[in-house]
Structure 1
């Protein structure tokens, strides 16, 4: 639904408005990374430790999260008049009010949603997310498609009230705020039923925070890597360029969608499997297959960029199309990093991730400073910075991981698959112009990969 709305937004909003839309979300992700305190990972880690009751772990985590989030909300609401001018939104302080409410509700929902994943309740998890996105979608479509002051109906009165304090871009934030509140309302029964103050364990709370804080720094570093370019392009480039860059970045984020689907399903199992005798084999095989299917996904998207970009974003945003293969590859490297990072989480050394993330942030800063300093400010520089950052993080993690736990043994095969996929994408984008030939090469690629990896896939399925 979000990708469906990408076309709607790029048609309905001009590039300046779309730039503001993406900029506010970029700023909010930095905040969420901070106040989440890595408690989702802490919850999964301590949930499967034998010396802790599951309800105690959940109650302790939720109470910590409520305290942190409530403290943040009180401070943030009282600081809007100072923060809005600093960010360049002195005339739209309502943006910040709505986003602080979004952050408040979304952060509280993190652990209840993790509880649904950990207790094998995918249907409830899906229903909450679907209700969230449908509510947001309905509100956005209604507000954008109705002419103000046309009829004196109840809904038009509400729309007139919303229009009295914000603009079209603010409609999106208002819809998100309402949908976030509804998500909070839907997870409230879990909180009321499973969380009690009596089950709060002070010693466990300290251990969860000690485990989660390094992950929090890693999350902040990830948010900087993902969003610093868009924040700086808006302020040192232009809203027009940032709007195009951000829209094409979202096309490249198809890879993030694949990564998220994989992570949501496999992350709890990684923690649960950590003490089994076949854990090493399981991690290696799953990571290998993740890389393989990620490369297939990369080839299929990049091989058909012209079709995807016409379908998902308006033509006035196409000037940044060249960043898509670069950002997509960066996201795939990030996905591999995320899978391999399980090793430092299950040996209780999340500080490793913090150190590596700081290296990634440093690389991101260097590329973005170069972008600011050079006269023409080419938006390709931040894109290459994203790829370089995630690539270096993965290499460091690979070297570090071999000392502690597991790592994919068949690195030569993985490198061959990478080179094959990159070469094919280069040929398709640069040399082959006719769509039928592009599709033929992609079809042959799929056949070759299937022939090479058929045995591995069959064996993994047999062993579950």
Structure 2
């Protein structure tokens, strides 16, 4: 099997858990937008923005560190696993206890009532359980046990979805007498209508516990070994990864934290700041189609890149991988952006959410450049110069904060979307420029930028060419999409995917 086909097959297996799982959870968006007002959904969006930051702190770069050291010649993988798991166990217990103790602080940051304190406690437990699962999941990836990895991830998502549907749809409908009235006494025992969006977090908590149960073999297959000397090189390699991850979270989620703080009062007439956050968060979900591919690719590519690093033709392989990844994401960008009206009406059930669809193409393009950045970042990981990733990440974070500060008061959530695009494009450009010096790879930059530019032009035609009649407009959009895909297939023939 060729290198490209092997990577594609692994990406496909990881994609089962990532893409199918994300699609299943994404099907909850119509449920949330139908059952919760935008202001309520804004609370969920805001809390999970903080969770994204804390996830990085809880794992502090140890997944990538584990991959790097496990692939070094002469490494005792069993001993490495024991050391990393022991360290993560101690830190997770301490951080979880600290977060539960400081739960009221988190509530004040979000201006939530004291009655929401249980949400913060549940989030602390979710973070702790997810952190404990991180290295066992990394071990499955390292050992190429993609099917078990995918199966556990899918089980987590399925339970999460089922519990959401049970608490947010089934129980309220039964109590309202819409069906199965005989179950009302039972539902009254297990369901509290006043908890509302709290059931989103409770469902997550139960699903995270199931994940630990399913990872029982990996969790118990280690011996507690905590010695400072072997940990020093691990922590030295990991802390720039953690800082880079924190900077990445600034770029990815800080806009949903800053938006309610920097949005002028009554910027959107008749809407609260959390209503704007809810609308932006729901429309951000439509960029999930790009995120799905990027995440599935990252699960497969990180161990793949490390394994390929010693091969003679590795730079050519890396160039080929970036090319096909970028072209695939460009197709997704065109398909979703040109037809965003249909995607919006399918997934966002309240009219108030549809107001934010204008940000979707911008966010899709931003996530495309984020995927490009993750491809390009291979050079500083393979050369053990991860501090460059820290510099790039913090530069992007500074740009994100500055642009949000400047643009939110003027453009609202479109300002946040444009800040995200500017950040990821800049990070990708700087990473490519530095990589050319430290780890030259023959990336087809001009060719890829041409395709991205053409895709932007196609999307602009779909948005700005005025076609009023509904079916004529949709036919025009379909022709634009099909024309771009056919042109790409004709120019970039499949046989070019083969490696020499």
Aligned equivalent of 1:331: 367
Contact 2:323–2:443 (CA<8 Å) still a contact in 1? no
* Aligned counterparts of 2:35 and 2:105: Cα–Cα separation in 1: 31
* Aligned counterparts of 1:82 and 1:462: Cα–Cα separation in 2: 54
1:249-280 deviation per Cα after TM superposition (whole angstroms, max 9, x unaligned)? 11023211110111112211111111111111
2:415 pairs with 356, 373, 381, which one? 381
Aligned equivalent of 2:498: 461
1:19 pairs with 30, 42, 48, which one? 42
Contact 1:16–1:243 (CA<8 Å) still a contact in 2? yes
* Aligned counterparts of 1:172 and 1:216: Cα–Cα separation in 2: 28
2:401 pairs with 365, 389, 397, which one? 365
Instruction: Give the deviation of 1:424 after TM superposition.
Output: 0.9
Aligned equivalent of 2:56: 33
* Aligned counterparts of 1:222 and 1:290: Cα–Cα separation in 2: 20
Cα RMSD for the two superposed structures: 1.8
* Aligned counterparts of 1:111 and 1:41: Cα–Cα separation in 2: 10
* Aligned counterparts of 2:45 and 2:159: Cα–Cα separation in 1: 20
426-435 or 393-402, which deviates more: 426-435
Q: TM-score, normalised by structure 2?
A: 0.87
* Aligned counterparts of 2:423 and 2:140: Cα–Cα separation in 1: 33
1:50 pairs with 55, 73, 89, which one? 73
* Aligned counterparts of 1:250 and 1:136: Cα–Cα separation in 2: 17
Contact 2:99–2:124 (CA<8 Å) still a contact in 1? yes
* Aligned counterparts of 1:422 and 1:361: Cα–Cα separation in 2: 25
Please, which runs of 5 or more residues in structure 2 have no aligned partner? 1-23, 176-180, 264-272, 468-472
CA separation of 1:393 and 1:81: change in aligned 2, threshold 3 A: same
* Aligned counterparts of 1:337 and 1:408: Cα–Cα separation in 2: 15
Contact 1:288–1:408 (CA<8 Å) still a contact in 2? no
CA separation of 1:54 and 1:240: change in aligned 2, threshold 3 A: same
Instruction: Give the deviation of 1:443 after TM superposition.
Output: 1.4
Partner-residue secondary structure (3-state), 1:146: helix
* Aligned counterparts of 1:337 and 1:243: Cα–Cα separation in 2: 28
* Aligned counterparts of 2:424 and 2:261: Cα–Cα separation in 1: 24
* Aligned counterparts of 2:287 and 2:73: Cα–Cα separation in 1: 41
Question: 2:339 aligned with 1:304, yes or no?
Answer: yes
* Aligned counterparts of 2:496 and 2:426: Cα–Cα separation in 1: 32
Partner-residue secondary structure (3-state), 2:91: helix
Aligned equivalent of 1:396: 430
* Aligned counterparts of 1:188 and 1:14: Cα–Cα separation in 2: 39
Question: 2:96 aligned with 1:68, yes or no?
Answer: no
Aligned equivalent of 1:197: 224
Instruction: Give the deviation of 1:203 after TM superposition.
Output: 3.4
* Aligned counterparts of 1:335 and 1:53: Cα–Cα separation in 2: 32
Question: 2:202 aligned with 1:174, yes or no?
Answer: yes
